[in-house]
Chains A and B, each alone.
Chain A
Protein backbone atom coordinates (compact mmCIF):
# COMPACT_ATOMS: atom_id res chain seq x y z
CA UNK A 1 0.00 0.00 0.00
CA UNK A 2 2.75 2.40 0.94
CA UNK A 3 4.51 1.54 -2.30
CA UNK A 4 1.37 2.42 -4.22
CA UNK A 5 1.15 5.85 -2.53
CA UNK A 6 4.81 6.43 -3.18
CA UNK A 7 4.51 5.67 -6.88
CA UNK A 8 1.44 7.91 -7.08
CA UNK A 9 3.43 10.68 -5.44
CA UNK A 10 6.32 10.13 -7.87
CA UNK A 11 3.89 10.27 -10.78
CA UNK A 12 2.43 13.56 -9.53
CA UNK A 13 5.93 14.95 -9.12
CA UNK A 14 6.83 13.86 -12.65
CA UNK A 15 3.69 15.50 -14.06
CA UNK A 16 4.44 18.72 -12.18
CA UNK A 17 7.99 18.88 -13.49
CA UNK A 18 6.75 18.12 -16.98
CA UNK A 19 4.14 20.89 -17.00
CA UNK A 20 6.68 23.30 -15.52
CA UNK A 21 9.07 22.63 -18.40
CA UNK A 22 6.23 22.98 -20.90
CA UNK A 23 5.26 26.32 -19.32
CA UNK A 24 8.79 27.63 -19.66
CA UNK A 25 8.78 26.86 -23.36
CA UNK A 26 10.51 29.33 -25.64
CA UNK A 27 8.53 32.23 -26.93
CA UNK A 28 7.96 31.98 -30.69
CA UNK A 29 6.42 35.38 -31.14
CA UNK A 30 4.37 38.18 -29.65
CA UNK A 31 0.87 39.58 -29.70
CA UNK A 32 1.38 42.96 -31.31
CA UNK A 33 -2.12 44.45 -31.29
CA UNK A 34 -5.47 43.58 -29.76
CA UNK A 35 -8.92 45.01 -30.33
CA UNK A 36 -11.99 43.66 -28.51
CA UNK A 37 -12.17 40.17 -27.03
CA UNK A 38 -9.14 38.03 -27.79
CA UNK A 39 -8.11 34.87 -25.96
CA UNK A 40 -4.83 33.03 -25.85
CA UNK A 41 -5.11 29.41 -24.76
CA UNK A 42 -2.39 26.87 -24.04
CA UNK A 43 -3.06 23.28 -23.02
CA UNK A 44 -3.50 24.38 -19.39
CA UNK A 45 -4.97 27.87 -19.42
CA UNK A 46 -6.99 30.39 -21.37
CA UNK A 47 -6.27 34.05 -20.76
CA UNK A 48 -7.38 37.35 -22.22
CA UNK A 49 -4.75 38.50 -24.68
CA UNK A 50 -3.10 41.90 -24.36
CA UNK A 51 -0.40 43.48 -26.55
CA UNK A 52 3.22 42.32 -26.03
CA UNK A 53 2.20 38.96 -24.59
CA UNK A 54 4.45 36.08 -25.65
CA UNK A 55 3.10 33.19 -27.67
CA UNK A 56 4.39 29.60 -27.64
CA UNK A 57 4.15 26.52 -29.81
CA UNK A 58 0.78 24.82 -29.29
CA UNK A 59 -1.08 28.03 -28.40
CA UNK A 60 -4.59 28.61 -29.64
CA UNK A 61 -5.69 32.17 -30.45
CA UNK A 62 -9.37 33.08 -30.64
CA UNK A 63 -11.20 36.35 -31.36
CA UNK A 64 -14.78 37.27 -30.45
CA UNK A 65 -17.28 39.41 -32.40
CA UNK A 66 -15.93 42.81 -33.58
CA UNK A 67 -12.46 41.82 -32.43
CA UNK A 68 -9.10 41.36 -34.08
CA UNK A 69 -5.51 40.57 -33.21
CA UNK A 70 -2.09 41.02 -34.85
CA UNK A 71 0.78 38.58 -34.26
CA UNK A 72 4.51 38.76 -35.03
CA UNK A 73 6.59 35.57 -35.11
CA UNK A 74 10.33 35.12 -34.50
CA UNK A 75 10.95 34.43 -38.21
CA UNK A 76 9.24 37.76 -39.18
CA UNK A 77 5.98 36.14 -40.24
CA UNK A 78 3.07 38.48 -39.44
CA UNK A 79 -0.50 37.24 -39.04
CA UNK A 80 -3.82 38.86 -38.22
CA UNK A 81 -7.19 37.40 -37.27
CA UNK A 82 -10.48 39.20 -37.92
CA UNK A 83 -13.67 38.68 -35.87
CA UNK A 84 -14.85 35.23 -34.74
CA UNK A 85 -11.63 33.56 -35.82
CA UNK A 86 -9.56 30.77 -34.35
CA UNK A 87 -6.15 29.35 -35.10
CA UNK A 88 -3.70 26.99 -33.44
CA UNK A 89 0.07 27.03 -33.87
CA UNK A 90 0.83 23.32 -34.10
CA UNK A 91 4.53 23.55 -34.74
CA UNK A 92 7.02 26.39 -34.96
CA UNK A 93 10.74 25.70 -35.32
CA UNK A 94 13.14 28.49 -36.22
CA UNK A 95 16.77 27.54 -35.83
CA UNK A 96 18.37 28.26 -39.23
CA UNK A 97 21.91 27.45 -38.02
CA UNK A 98 20.78 23.92 -37.06
CA UNK A 99 18.55 23.60 -40.13
CA UNK A 100 15.47 23.17 -37.92
CA UNK A 101 12.64 24.98 -39.64
CA UNK A 102 8.89 24.37 -39.57
CA UNK A 103 5.69 26.36 -39.35
CA UNK A 104 2.44 24.39 -39.17
CA UNK A 105 -0.79 26.19 -38.32
CA UNK A 106 -4.39 25.03 -38.10
CA UNK A 107 -7.11 27.50 -39.06
CA UNK A 108 -10.54 26.57 -37.68
CA UNK A 109 -12.79 29.51 -38.60
CA UNK A 110 -12.80 33.19 -39.48
CA UNK A 111 -10.68 35.53 -41.60
CA UNK A 112 -6.89 35.78 -41.64
CA UNK A 113 -4.13 37.70 -43.36
CA UNK A 114 -0.50 36.60 -43.57
CA UNK A 115 2.87 37.85 -44.70
CA UNK A 116 5.21 34.88 -44.61
CA UNK A 117 8.68 35.22 -43.09
CA UNK A 118 12.10 33.57 -43.15
CA UNK A 119 10.90 29.97 -42.69
CA UNK A 120 8.92 30.22 -45.95
CA UNK A 121 12.05 31.63 -47.64
CA UNK A 122 14.51 29.07 -46.26
CA UNK A 123 12.32 25.94 -46.22
CA UNK A 124 9.05 26.52 -48.14
CA UNK A 125 8.13 22.83 -47.89
CA UNK A 126 8.06 23.15 -44.11
CA UNK A 127 5.33 25.78 -44.09
CA UNK A 128 1.80 24.41 -44.02
CA UNK A 129 -1.62 25.83 -43.15
CA UNK A 130 -4.50 23.45 -42.56
CA UNK A 131 -8.12 24.59 -42.94
CA UNK A 132 -11.15 22.26 -42.60
CA UNK A 133 -11.25 22.08 -46.43
CA UNK A 134 -7.70 22.24 -47.68
CA UNK A 135 -3.98 22.36 -47.02
CA UNK A 136 -2.10 25.50 -48.06
CA UNK A 137 1.53 25.40 -49.10
CA UNK A 138 3.15 28.81 -48.93
CA UNK A 139 5.79 29.98 -51.40
CA UNK A 140 5.33 33.55 -50.20
CA UNK A 141 4.31 35.98 -49.24
CA UNK A 142 1.11 37.95 -48.60
CA UNK A 143 -2.24 36.17 -48.73
CA UNK A 144 -5.68 36.01 -47.18
CA UNK A 145 -7.80 33.09 -45.94
CA UNK A 146 -11.50 32.98 -45.11
CA UNK A 147 -13.34 30.00 -43.66
CA UNK A 148 -17.16 30.17 -43.84
Chain B
Protein backbone atom coordinates (compact mmCIF):
# COMPACT_ATOMS: atom_id res chain seq x y z
CA UNK B 1 0.00 0.00 0.00
CA UNK B 2 2.74 2.45 0.98
CA UNK B 3 4.64 1.69 -2.19
CA UNK B 4 1.49 2.24 -4.31
CA UNK B 5 0.95 5.62 -2.65
CA UNK B 6 4.52 6.67 -3.18
CA UNK B 7 4.14 5.83 -6.84
CA UNK B 8 1.19 8.21 -7.32
CA UNK B 9 3.25 11.40 -7.80
CA UNK B 10 5.47 9.57 -10.26
CA UNK B 11 2.43 8.49 -12.25
CA UNK B 12 1.13 12.07 -12.30
CA UNK B 13 4.48 13.28 -13.49
CA UNK B 14 4.51 10.75 -16.32
CA UNK B 15 0.97 11.77 -17.33
CA UNK B 16 2.04 15.42 -17.19
CA UNK B 17 4.99 14.69 -19.50
CA UNK B 18 2.73 12.87 -21.96
CA UNK B 19 0.19 15.69 -22.12
CA UNK B 20 3.04 18.16 -22.62
CA UNK B 21 4.15 16.24 -25.63
CA UNK B 22 0.65 16.02 -27.07
CA UNK B 23 0.14 19.78 -26.84
CA UNK B 24 3.58 21.36 -26.80
CA UNK B 25 5.18 19.08 -29.36
CA UNK B 26 2.54 19.79 -32.01
CA UNK B 27 5.39 20.46 -34.38
CA UNK B 28 5.55 20.99 -38.08
CA UNK B 29 8.33 20.75 -40.61
CA UNK B 30 8.68 23.00 -43.67
CA UNK B 31 10.99 21.97 -46.52
CA UNK B 32 11.95 24.36 -49.35
CA UNK B 33 13.96 23.49 -52.48
CA UNK B 34 16.35 26.06 -53.97
CA UNK B 35 18.62 26.18 -57.03
CA UNK B 36 22.21 25.18 -56.17
CA UNK B 37 25.11 27.66 -56.66
CA UNK B 38 25.39 26.49 -60.30
CA UNK B 39 21.69 27.16 -60.92
CA UNK B 40 20.67 23.49 -60.99
CA UNK B 41 17.49 22.44 -59.15
CA UNK B 42 17.56 18.98 -57.55
CA UNK B 43 14.82 17.08 -55.78
CA UNK B 44 13.84 16.32 -52.19
CA UNK B 45 11.45 13.49 -51.28
CA UNK B 46 9.48 14.21 -48.10
CA UNK B 47 7.88 11.22 -46.39
CA UNK B 48 5.63 11.03 -43.32
CA UNK B 49 4.15 7.82 -41.91
CA UNK B 50 1.17 8.08 -44.27
CA UNK B 51 2.34 9.69 -47.53
CA UNK B 52 5.28 10.86 -49.59
CA UNK B 53 5.77 13.85 -51.89
CA UNK B 54 8.55 15.22 -54.12
CA UNK B 55 9.47 18.86 -54.37
CA UNK B 56 11.23 19.46 -57.67
CA UNK B 57 10.98 23.17 -58.60
CA UNK B 58 12.93 26.22 -57.42
CA UNK B 59 11.41 27.73 -54.25
CA UNK B 60 8.84 24.97 -54.02
CA UNK B 61 7.85 24.03 -50.45
CA UNK B 62 5.85 21.45 -48.54
CA UNK B 63 4.66 21.41 -44.91
CA UNK B 64 4.22 18.29 -42.75
CA UNK B 65 2.19 18.59 -39.54
CA UNK B 66 3.22 15.47 -37.70
CA UNK B 67 4.05 11.96 -38.88
CA UNK B 68 0.38 11.01 -39.05
CA UNK B 69 -0.43 13.64 -41.68
CA UNK B 70 0.40 13.84 -45.38
CA UNK B 71 2.84 16.49 -46.66
CA UNK B 72 0.92 19.43 -48.21
CA UNK B 73 0.85 19.85 -52.00
CA UNK B 74 4.03 21.61 -53.21
CA UNK B 75 3.67 25.39 -53.36
CA UNK B 76 6.14 27.96 -54.66
CA UNK B 77 7.15 30.47 -51.97
CA UNK B 78 8.03 34.11 -52.66
CA UNK B 79 11.56 35.41 -52.10
CA UNK B 80 10.19 37.49 -49.22
CA UNK B 81 8.66 34.46 -47.48
CA UNK B 82 11.91 32.54 -47.81
CA UNK B 83 13.96 35.48 -46.54
CA UNK B 84 11.63 35.95 -43.56
CA UNK B 85 12.14 32.39 -42.35
CA UNK B 86 15.60 31.48 -43.57
CA UNK B 87 17.75 34.60 -44.05
CA UNK B 88 19.87 33.73 -41.01
CA UNK B 89 20.49 30.10 -42.05
CA UNK B 90 21.13 31.15 -45.66
CA UNK B 91 23.63 33.87 -44.78
CA UNK B 92 25.64 31.50 -42.57
CA UNK B 93 25.86 28.71 -45.16
CA UNK B 94 29.56 28.14 -46.00
CA UNK B 95 30.72 28.17 -49.60
CA UNK B 96 31.11 24.57 -50.82
CA UNK B 97 34.76 23.39 -50.92
CA UNK B 98 36.65 23.91 -54.16
CA UNK B 99 38.58 21.07 -55.85
CA UNK B 100 41.60 21.43 -58.14
CA UNK B 101 43.47 18.78 -60.11
CA UNK B 102 47.16 19.41 -60.76
CA UNK B 103 48.93 17.21 -63.34
CA UNK B 104 52.55 16.05 -63.47
CA UNK B 105 55.23 15.14 -65.97
CA UNK B 106 55.70 11.42 -66.52
CA UNK B 107 57.53 9.65 -63.66
CA UNK B 108 58.20 12.97 -61.98
CA UNK B 109 57.08 15.34 -59.24
CA UNK B 110 57.33 18.31 -61.65
CA UNK B 111 54.01 20.04 -62.43
CA UNK B 112 53.02 20.40 -66.08
CA UNK B 113 53.29 23.97 -67.36
CA UNK B 114 49.53 24.16 -67.61
CA UNK B 115 49.00 23.06 -64.02
CA UNK B 116 51.49 25.62 -62.71
CA UNK B 117 49.01 28.24 -63.89
CA UNK B 118 46.33 26.79 -61.58
CA UNK B 119 48.29 27.68 -58.42
CA UNK B 120 47.01 31.30 -58.29
CA UNK B 121 43.42 29.97 -58.43
CA UNK B 122 44.13 27.75 -55.41
CA UNK B 123 45.57 30.70 -53.49
CA UNK B 124 42.57 32.85 -54.40
CA UNK B 125 40.11 30.18 -53.22
CA UNK B 126 42.05 29.79 -49.94
CA UNK B 127 42.11 33.50 -49.30
CA UNK B 128 38.43 33.99 -50.21
CA UNK B 129 37.38 31.24 -47.78
CA UNK B 130 39.98 32.23 -45.16
CA UNK B 131 40.75 28.54 -45.30
CA UNK B 132 42.54 26.71 -42.51
CA UNK B 133 41.69 23.33 -43.97
CA UNK B 134 43.38 22.42 -47.24
CA UNK B 135 43.68 18.81 -48.35
CA UNK B 136 46.44 17.62 -50.71
CA UNK B 137 46.00 14.13 -52.12
CA UNK B 138 48.73 12.58 -54.29
CA UNK B 139 48.02 10.03 -57.05
CA UNK B 140 49.88 8.20 -59.80
CA UNK B 141 48.98 6.18 -62.87
CA UNK B 142 49.39 2.39 -62.80
CA UNK B 143 52.76 2.31 -64.64
CA UNK B 144 55.42 0.79 -62.37
CA UNK B 145 55.03 -1.17 -59.16
CA UNK B 146 52.60 -0.11 -56.39
CA UNK B 147 55.21 0.69 -53.73
CA UNK B 148 57.14 2.92 -56.13
CA UNK B 149 53.89 4.65 -57.04
CA UNK B 150 52.99 5.15 -53.39
CA UNK B 151 56.35 6.91 -52.92
CA UNK B 152 55.87 8.96 -56.08
CA UNK B 153 52.35 10.07 -55.09
CA UNK B 154 53.77 11.20 -51.72
CA UNK B 155 56.54 13.15 -53.48
CA UNK B 156 53.98 14.82 -55.72
CA UNK B 157 51.80 15.81 -52.76
CA UNK B 158 54.90 17.19 -51.01
CA UNK B 159 55.93 19.15 -54.11
CA UNK B 160 52.51 20.85 -54.11
CA UNK B 161 52.80 21.51 -50.37
CA UNK B 162 56.18 23.23 -50.91
CA UNK B 163 54.71 25.43 -53.64
CA UNK B 164 51.78 26.44 -51.41
CA UNK B 165 54.12 27.18 -48.48
CA UNK B 166 56.30 29.36 -50.74
CA UNK B 167 53.15 31.25 -51.66
CA UNK B 168 52.38 31.95 -48.00
CA UNK B 169 50.01 29.11 -47.01
CA UNK B 170 50.71 27.89 -43.46
CA UNK B 171 51.96 24.35 -43.14
CA UNK B 172 49.62 23.58 -40.21
CA UNK B 173 46.50 24.28 -42.29
CA UNK B 174 47.39 21.55 -44.79
CA UNK B 175 46.69 17.83 -44.54
CA UNK B 176 48.56 15.51 -46.92
CA UNK B 177 47.51 12.05 -48.01
CA UNK B 178 48.76 9.84 -50.81
CA UNK B 179 46.84 7.12 -52.55
CA UNK B 180 49.53 5.80 -54.91
CA UNK B 181 47.90 4.10 -57.89
CA UNK B 182 44.81 2.96 -55.95
CA UNK B 183 42.47 5.84 -56.72
CA UNK B 184 42.77 6.71 -60.42
CA UNK B 185 40.67 9.43 -62.03
CA UNK B 186 40.51 7.28 -65.18
CA UNK B 187 40.27 3.54 -64.48
CA UNK B 188 42.93 1.62 -66.43
CA UNK B 189 44.54 -1.80 -66.43
CA UNK B 190 47.80 -2.22 -64.51
CA UNK B 191 50.98 -0.71 -66.02
CA UNK B 192 49.24 1.93 -68.08
CA UNK B 193 50.65 5.46 -68.54
CA UNK B 194 47.69 7.78 -68.13
CA UNK B 195 48.47 11.53 -67.81
CA UNK B 196 45.11 12.24 -66.15
CA UNK B 197 45.99 9.86 -63.31
CA UNK B 198 49.36 11.54 -62.63
CA UNK B 199 47.79 14.13 -60.43
CA UNK B 200 47.48 15.84 -57.08
CA UNK B 201 44.06 16.84 -55.92
CA UNK B 202 43.80 19.98 -53.82
CA UNK B 203 40.64 20.61 -51.77
CA UNK B 204 40.14 24.06 -50.27
CA UNK B 205 37.58 24.15 -47.45
* Cα-based distance from A112 to B88 in the complex (angstroms): 9
Does residue A28 face the partner (Cβ distance < 8 Å to B)? Answer: no
CB within 8 Å of A: which of B73-100?
82, 85-86, 88-97, 99
Does residue B115 face the partner (Cβ distance < 8 Å to A)? Answer: no
- For residue B45, which residue of chain A has the nearest CB? A137
Contact, CB under 8 Å: B90 / A144: yes
CB within 8 Å of A: which of B150-205?
182-183, 205
Of A52, A109, A135, the residue contacting B133 (CB under 8 A) is A52
Which 7 A-B residue pairs are closest in the complex by CB-CB distance?
A140-B42, A137-B45, A141-B36, A139-B43, A68-B92, A82-B88, A82-B89
* Cα-based distance from A78 to B88 in the complex (angstroms): 15
Contact, CB under 8 Å: B96 / A117: yes
Contact, CB under 8 Å: A72 / B97: yes
Chain A residues lying within 8 Å of B31, measured Cβ to Cβ, are 134, 136, 143-145
B interface residues, Cβ below 8 angstroms from A:
25, 27-37, 40, 42-48, 55, 64-67, 71, 82, 85-86, 88-97, 99, 132-133, 182-183, 205
Of A71, A135, A137, A146, the residue contacting B94 (CB under 8 A) is A71
* B179 smallest CB distance to A (angstroms): 8
Of B37, B44, B67, B86, the residue contacting A137 (CB under 8 A) is B44
A113-B86 contact, Cβ under 8 Å, with A142-B42, A144-B31 = yes
Contact, CB under 8 Å: A142 / B29: no
* A28 smallest CB distance to B (angstroms): 12
* Cα-based distance from A35 to B34 in the complex (angstroms): 24
Of B28, B46, B55, B93, the residue contacting A148 (CB under 8 A) is B28
Q: Taking A70-B92, A134-B48 as given, write out 5 further A-B residue pairs in contact, using a Cβ cutoff of 8 Å, ordered by the A residue number.
A: A80-B89, A133-B29, A138-B44, A140-B42, A147-B30
Of A117, A144, A148, the residue contacting B34 (CB under 8 A) is A144
Contact, CB under 8 Å: A69 / B92: yes
Chain B residues lying within 8 Å of A30, measured Cβ to Cβ, are 133, 205
Does residue A106 face the partner (Cβ distance < 8 Å to B)? Answer: no
A115-B37 contact, Cβ under 8 Å, with A133-B65, A133-B67 = yes
Which of B34, B40, B89 has its CB near the most chain A CB atoms (within 10 A)?
B89
User: What is the size category of the interface that chain A forms with chain B?
Assistant: 35 or more
CB within 8 Å of B: which of A103-138?
109, 111-113, 115-117, 131-138
A146-B205 contact, Cβ under 8 Å, with A113-B86, A115-B36 = no
* B46 smallest CB distance to A (angstroms): 5
Contact, CB under 8 Å: A136 / B46: yes
A111-B86 contact, Cβ under 8 Å, with A32-B94, A132-B29, A135-B47 = yes
Of A32, A82, A132, A142, the residue contacting B205 (CB under 8 A) is A32
* Cα-based distance from A137 to B47 in the complex (angstroms): 8
A113-B46 contact, Cβ under 8 Å, with A131-B29, A132-B25 = no
Chain A residues lying within 8 Å of B205, measured Cβ to Cβ, are 30, 32, 72
Contact, CB under 8 Å: A140 / B182: no
Question: What are 18 A-B pairs with beta-carbon distances under 8 A?
Answer: A35-B92, A51-B132, A69-B92, A72-B133, A78-B96, A111-B88, A115-B93, A133-B67, A139-B44, A142-B36, A143-B31, A143-B32, A143-B42, A143-B44, A144-B34, A144-B82, A144-B86, A148-B27
